[in-house]
Amino acid sequence: MMKKLDTILLAAMVTWASSAMADDGATLDRGRHVFDQWCVSCHGVGDRMPGTASLAAKYRGSIPAALEERTDLNPDFIRYFVRNGVLIMPAFRKTEVSDADLAALADYLSHQKK
């Protein structure tokens, strides 16, 4: 029972923290930094990026293959893939990408205006 309450409280705090950070310029910079550290090697713009190439094949040009050029991404979708991985993409642990870093990253990728 206690454990369940802890989980609910933690979830509420994470939700509050991520909404409090939304749209803040510093958060977007942090999100870009996290992307450059962990994601750009596979999801950068270019032909030799395995993530970008895989998404180009998946969507066949109907949407941009590079994550930073997408306008359809939402934070839950990004969080899901970062924590679970897919195909050759590893799941990232909290010791690598913390919850706060992931919130900033999800905010960054879901607020592209290109």
- Beta bridge partner(s), residue 89: 86
State the binding string over 34-63 for ligand HEC (x if CB under 6 A, else -): ----xx-xxx------xx--xx--x-----
Distances (CA, A) of 28 to 25, 49, 53: 5, 23, 25
Distances (CA, A) of 49 to 2, 86, 103, 112: 46, 15, 24, 20
How many residues are recorded in the chain?
Answer: 114
Question: Is position 104 an interface residue for ligand HEC (rule: CB under 6 A)?
Answer: no
Q: How far is the CB of 35 from ligand HEC (least distance, A)?
A: 6
Q: How far is the CB of 1 from ligand HEC (least distance, A)?
A: 35
Binding region for ligand HEC (CB under 6 A) out of 1-9, 10-18, 23-31, 78-86 = 78-86
Could you say which of 21, 28, 89, 100 contacts ligand HEC (CB under 6 A)? Answer: 89
98: left (phi over 0), alpha (psi -120 to 50) or beta: beta
Mention every residue, 6+ apart, whose C-beta is less than 8 A from residue 106: 18, 31, 75, 76, 78, 79, 82
Could you say which of 82, 103, 104, 107 contacts ligand HEC (CB under 6 A)? Answer: 82
Q: Contact residues for ligand HEC (CB under 6 A)? A: 38-39, 41-43, 50-51, 54-55, 58, 67, 77-78, 81-82, 86-89, 92, 97, 105
